[in-house]
């Protein structure tokens, strides 16, 4: 049993699903959980585990609990005689979207020396920018669907429909639209550019198969989840997609050939190594004519993809004992001393 700091909420379009996702983890972790909520103003609060409930947050009631601040080594409560540290063995970053998945929290944990499970800065940047994801996948030898990249002031001409318009930086289908004809294009572009000044336009491929595979690496060995074939409607909207975030029941495994499973795992490995060390991620793949394409990387998947693993809690514990170590940096002042010596001071 560990003491795990569940960090969630934050200034993010996915603030609410982070709340739901974090609460779901109560059912799948037998550890002592320390809930650290980041409110929309980026203030930290310690929410007692036995009190946690989604209503606390919408009502603003969370403010009656202890306010914390972050500093070297962790989170602290201001107390009359010095600050009191909130103890935990490691933090689990369950902050979907902004702050959690864009590198902000990873940086804060890094700066303040807080051990954590979650994507590091580079991993965040390559997964939360869809244009970068494609470049990154390419450089790892993993295919993605062809796409065009535009910025707000570009002249945009599209001739193939249907296509999918996606803001470059938001996850969770926000601002994403399937465009069936030229007439629908400018509306979809307006919506997408409301969320970002860069977009990508992908071909919409019919009868594409979708498979999700989660996994992590601990002590140099990969641990894979089962492969899930997500329920497909033409396109999952925000609400439907986020049913995932409350899930704690095991889903059925997709019926796939061993060859295809190995192919998916091989692609996962290429994406994960070494950029995603320290995190448990879900890769969403497309399969078209037996070829595997990366659709997206979820560096903090809904309810941490617990429902895809035989022993998710065990996996998290293994991972927590195998977090990436940072380079030791010796600061000697040799260079400054040399300059001073040269100046004769």
Strands 3-9 and 32-38: parallel
Site for a second copy in 150-189 (CB under 8 A): 151
Minimum CB distance to a second copy smaller for 175 or for 215:
175
Give all strands of the β-sheet with 177-179 in edge-to-edge order.
147-151, 198-203, 163-167, 177-179
Which one of 9-17, 155-163, 181-189, 292-300 is the stretch in contact with a second copy (CB under 8 A)?
9-17
Cα–Cα dist 25/42, whole Å: 22
Q: Could you tell me if 105 and 92 are in contact, meaning their C-beta atoms sit under 8 angstroms apart?
A: no
Instruction: Indicate the SS3 state at residue 264.
Output: helix
Q: Kindly determine how many residues on this chain lie close enough to bind a second copy according to the rule CB under 8 A.
A: 67
Site for a second copy in 295-324 (CB under 8 A): none
Q: What's the closest the beta carbon of residue 260 comes to a second copy, in angstroms?
A: 26
Kindly give, in sequence order, each residue whose CB lies less than 8 Å from that of residue 108, ignoring residues fewer than 6 positions away. Answer: 70, 114
Question: Cα-flanking dihedrals φ and ψ of residue 187, to 5°?
Answer: -65, -45
Site for a second copy in 116-155 (CB under 8 A): 121-122, 124-126, 129, 131-132, 135-136, 138-139, 149, 151
Q: What's the closest the beta carbon of residue 332 comes to a second copy, in angstroms?
A: 8
Site for a second copy in 20-59 (CB under 8 A): 20, 40-43, 54-55, 57-58
Minimum CB distance to a second copy smaller for 62 or for 90:
62
Q: Could you tell me if 199 and 210 are in contact, meaning their C-beta atoms sit under 8 angstroms apart?
A: no
Q: What's the closest the beta carbon of residue 253 comes to a second copy, in angstroms?
A: 28
Minimum CB distance to a second copy smaller for 31 or for 202:
202
Cα–Cα dist 37/99, whole Å: 13
Q: Does 84 bind a second copy (CB under 8 A)?
A: no
Site for a second copy in 225-284 (CB under 8 A): 238-239, 242, 246, 273-274
Q: Could you tell me if 106 and 93 are in contact, meaning their C-beta atoms sit under 8 angstroms apart?
A: yes
Q: What's the closest the beta carbon of residue 196 comes to a second copy, in angstroms?
A: 8
Contact map string, positions 56 to 75, toward a second copy, x by CB under 8 A: -xx----------x-xx---
Which one of 179-187, 201-209, 251-259, 326-334 is the stretch in contact with a second copy (CB under 8 A)?
326-334
Cα–Cα dist 14/54, whole Å: 14
Using alpha carbons, select from 221, 306, 307, 214 the residue that is nearest to residue 6.
306
Strands 3-9 and 90-93: parallel
Q: Does 103 bind a second copy (CB under 8 A)?
A: yes
Residue 132 token pair: 């970068």
Neighbours of 230 (CB within 10 A): 14
Identify the residue among 17, 114, 281, 316 touching a second copy (CB under 8 A).
Answer: 17
Cα–Cα dist 184/136, whole Å: 31
Q: What's the closest the beta carbon of residue 282 comes to a second copy, in angstroms?
A: 21
Q: Could you give the residue ranges of the DSSP H alpha helices within 170-252?
A: 182-195, 238-241
Minimum CB distance to a second copy smaller for 98 or for 215:
98
Using alpha carbons, select from 169, 165, 245, 229 the residue that is nearest to residue 201.
165
Q: Which residues bind a second copy (CB under 8 A)?
A: 11-13, 15-17, 19-20, 40-43, 54-55, 57-58, 69, 71-72, 98-99, 102-108, 110-113, 121-122, 124-126, 129, 131-132, 135-136, 138-139, 149, 151, 195, 197-198, 238-239, 242, 246, 273-274, 327, 329, 331, 333-340, 345
């Amino acid at each position: 049993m560990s003491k795990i700091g569940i960090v969630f909420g934050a200034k993010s379009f996915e603030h609410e699903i982070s709340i739901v996702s974090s609460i779901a983890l109560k059912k799948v972790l037998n550890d002592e959980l320390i809930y650290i909520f980041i409110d929309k103003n980026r203030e930290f609060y310690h929410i007692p585990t036995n009190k946690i409930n989604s209503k606390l947050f919408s009502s603003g009631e969370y403010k009656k609990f202890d306010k914390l601040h972050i500093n070297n080594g962790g989170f602290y409560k201001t107390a009359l005689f010095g600050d009191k540290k909130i103890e935990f063995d490691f933090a689990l970053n369950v902050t979907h979207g902004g702050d959690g998945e864009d590198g902000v929290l990873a940086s804060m944990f890094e700066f303040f020396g807080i051990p954590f499970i979650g994507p590091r800065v580079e991993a965040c940047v390559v997964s939360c920018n869809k244009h970068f994801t494609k470049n990154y996948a390419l450089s790892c030898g993993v295919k993605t669907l062809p796409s065009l990249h535009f910025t707000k002031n570009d002249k945009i001409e599209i001739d193939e429909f249907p296509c999918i318009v996606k803001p470059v930086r938001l996850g969770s289908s926000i601002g994403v639209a399937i465009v069936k004809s030229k007439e629908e294009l400018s509306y979809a572009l307006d919506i997408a550019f409301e969320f970002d000044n860069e977009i990508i336009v992908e071909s919409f491929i019919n009868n594409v198969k979708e498979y999700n595979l989660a996994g992590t690496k601990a002590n140099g060995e990969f641990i894979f989840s089962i492969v899930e074939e997500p329920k497909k409607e033409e396109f999952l909207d925000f609400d439907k997609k986020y049913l995932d975030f409350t899930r704690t029941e095991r889903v059925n495994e997709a019926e796939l050939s061993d060859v295809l499973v190995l192919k998916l795992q091989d692609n996962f490995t290429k994406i994960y190594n070494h950029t995603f060390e320290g995190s448990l991620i879900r890769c969403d793949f497309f399969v078209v004519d037996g070829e595997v394409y990366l659709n997206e990387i979820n560096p903090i998947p809904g309810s941490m993809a617990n429902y895809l693993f035989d022993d998710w809690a065990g996996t998290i514990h293994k991972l927590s004992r195998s977090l990436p170590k940072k380079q030791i940096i010796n600061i000697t002042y040799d260079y400054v001393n040399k300059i001073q010596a040269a100046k004769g001071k």
